Structure 1
Amino acid sequence: MIGVIIVTFQSADVIAACLESLRTSTQPDLHVVVCDNASDDGTLEVIRNWADANNVALAELSPDGPPVSTGFSILSTGGNLGFAGAVNAGLKRLLAVPDLDLFWVLNPDSEALPDTASAFARKAREAGPFALMGGRIRYHEAPGHIQSDGGVVFPWSGICKNLNSGLLPESAVLPDAETLDFISGASLVASRRFVEQAGLMVEDYFLYYEEVDWAARRGDLPLILCPEAEVLHHGGTTIGTGAMNRRPSPFANYFNYRNRMRFVRRFRPLALPTTWFLSMLRVAKLMLLGAMDEAAAAARGLNGLPPPAAVRDRIAPGDRFRAFGTGKRPS
């Protein structure tokens, strides 16, 4: 059986479509838990209205309550825990359900095709032990084009690359799963065995590189692909991740460049000098393009400096210690 974890933050404009895509799934008995990171844009109201309109039983979980049951549940995290913190909150609840052996992390701005969950379940039965499984992620705004068929991390720069990004399916060659370094966090399935072996996601990234770190701790369990399990992904609707025709925002750049250095420091320390140098070249390119705010945020993240005010102010004061290591530590 499959447990689904959806992390929401200011997701009112996309979450209903995501949930509806799961409601119409051909896979029975999904356990869906929406972990909300203190959204104040009406995300929870949208979820409740969607449930009422579709006669869906919606459980509202308390932090210390019983495990989730089959169907749809809301878990309010009580603050902005970041991506990994909210995923972990959902995982802890789902791990307590003995019948669940697959845990599907799905972005709120994604929509699964009807057979996606069934394809994941079928592949898991056929594959044997595995760590993380990815499907094919396609751009929502250009659904004929692939966003990710898994990804690699360049060894001397720490830069992540989504494979087959921008290609049409008919011209894309599915990568050998043995060559992959990570599965995109927009849609990934973790096996129970992997979670129990590797542990939960590391939470100090706050945003970006969590799934890359997780995959790097997989030991001898492989990454696998299931291209039949497709989702449509808007991409960065809240945080400003780059899409086909859009540069990443200063907010996205700060965390991406900061966490690149954190990841490399943990797993590839010999590559720290080249990672810094090659990342600074990208900062210089942004400056030449006139993207000064994006460049400044990237440079500050890369060098471990506090974020620009425009980035800092997007995180509530009570959550800034988790995000930046500054401000008042949460009690």
Structure 2
Amino acid sequence: MTTAVIIVAYRNPEDIRRCLRALRAAGPGETFDICLVENGGAHAYAVLVAMLAEEGLIFKAPRGSAGPFSRLVHFVGGPHGAAVWVGLAPENLGYAGGINLWLRRLEPDPRVDGYWILNPDTQPEPGALSALIARAERGGFGMVASQLVSTAWPERVLMRGMRWRPLVCRPLALERSRPSRAKPAANLATLLEAPSGASFYVTRMALQEIGPMEESYFLFYEDLEWGLRAKTLCGLALAEDSTVRHVVGASIGSASARKKRSALAVYLDHRNRLHFVRRMFPQRLRWTALVVLARTFEFLAVGAFRNFGAALAGWAAGLRGETGRPERFFREPAE
């Protein structure tokens, strides 16, 4: 039996390179295949494939069709002897859409008993996967989250999962960076409602219970919805000894400072909050719309005028019920 490590790329081969190098230090006995999907088009796919060849992986012609991918190549000689598969998405399907391509491809394979979802800008510590699997088996949990730490300051815990805060209409990151805010393990288990999408594990059996990720978000909030479903249907937990270093916001520009966030990240955050509440807590939609509108003005308060416009546009799109890829941001190829 093996684990499929699923990574969604978007024109960031150097992030992938660092992630794969970190996986070379995986714990003893960890067996996995690496399943990459490139969402950034044919040129980005060619660059990614060339980078893998530079890393010493050996190309092996894949058998059978490419399935849901436009192209599919196969390498051997990956971390711990892993096979590395690289698929080209037929279009930019977003985070959930990219993951679901691999989930559909892998579903008939009885050797795969679990899926480790990793962001490309992560660097797992040795034993991170073993800890996830052990926690799932020990407690009978279908979904297990890793503990995320900063790449720059590994002693700083960034996130140990998420929960939804209905009053302020936003997700809360559960962390223990400051001793005064530490949560006892029992309390954390109660508070935890979803993993961070940067690193978590899903069992094969759990996937049959919760189904694939919801693709209509494109980016943001799909991991929160999936976690809420998992907590109800198959159990959710944190593996505190599964540690993964993470560069927050590297893939999409979701920096903490309002002026530094990308307009796409701001737009999707505001649009998808309304979409998430409409799907999961429709009775609170009116309150959420008022709160999200009020929070758009926080960008004005710090002089982030471009992002104020993006936030307001995202709020209006969420109110109209728009979903999927926001074409206004993808009309021209990214540089």
TM-score (norm 1): 0.84
- Measure how far apart 1:156 and its partner are: 3.4
Structure 1: state its 5+ residue gaps: 319-331
Kept in 2, the 8 Å contact 1:178–1:223? The answer is no
- The amino acid of 1:17's aligned partner reads R
Q: 2:202 maps to which residue?
A: 190
- Measure how far apart 1:39 and its partner are: 4.2
Kept in 2, the 8 Å contact 1:12–1:43? The answer is no
Instruction: Kindly report the root-mean-square deviation, in angstroms, between the aligned alpha carbons of the 2 structures.
Output: 3.0
Q: 2:222 maps to which residue?
A: 210
Kept in 1, the 8 Å contact 2:122–2:198? The answer is yes
Cα deviation per residue 1:55-98 (whole Å; 9 max; x = unaligned)? 45667682358998952110111210111110000111222221
CA distance in 1, matches of 2:17, 2:240: 25
SS at match of 1:304: helix
CA distance in 1, matches of 2:66, 2:179: 43
Aligned length: 313
Give 2:157's match in structure 1, choosing from 123, 133, 146: 146
TM-score (norm 2): 0.83
Kept in 2, the 8 Å contact 1:57–1:71? The answer is no
Structure 2: state its 5+ residue gaps: 77-81
CA distance in 1, matches of 2:271, 2:154: 31
- The amino acid of 2:272's aligned partner reads N
CA distance in 1, matches of 2:272, 2:7: 22
Q: 1:295 maps to which residue?
A: 308
- Measure how far apart 1:192 and its partner are: 1.4
- The amino acid of 2:214's aligned partner reads V
Cα deviation per residue 1:237-272 (whole Å; 9 max; x = unaligned)? 231112489753221010111011011011111211
Alignment of 1:263-274 (within 5 A): 263-274=276-287
- Measure how far apart 1:295 and its partner are: 1.4
Alignment of 1:1-331 (within 5 A): 1-26=2-27, 27-39=29-41, 42=44, 44-55=46-57, 62-63=66-67, 71-128=83-140, 130-164=141-175, 167=177, 172-173=182-183, 174=185, 176-218=188-230, 219-243=232-256, 247-304=260-317, 312=327, 314-316=329-331
Change (3 A) 1:56 1:264: same
Identical aligned residues as a percent:
27
Cα deviation per residue 1:22-72 (whole Å; 9 max; x = unaligned)? 233124320110011134674643454344433456676823589989521
Kept in 2, the 8 Å contact 1:16–1:47? The answer is no
CA distance in 2, matches of 1:22, 1:56: 17
Change (3 A) 1:78 1:121: same
Change (3 A) 1:117 1:209: same
Kept in 1, the 8 Å contact 2:252–2:264? The answer is yes
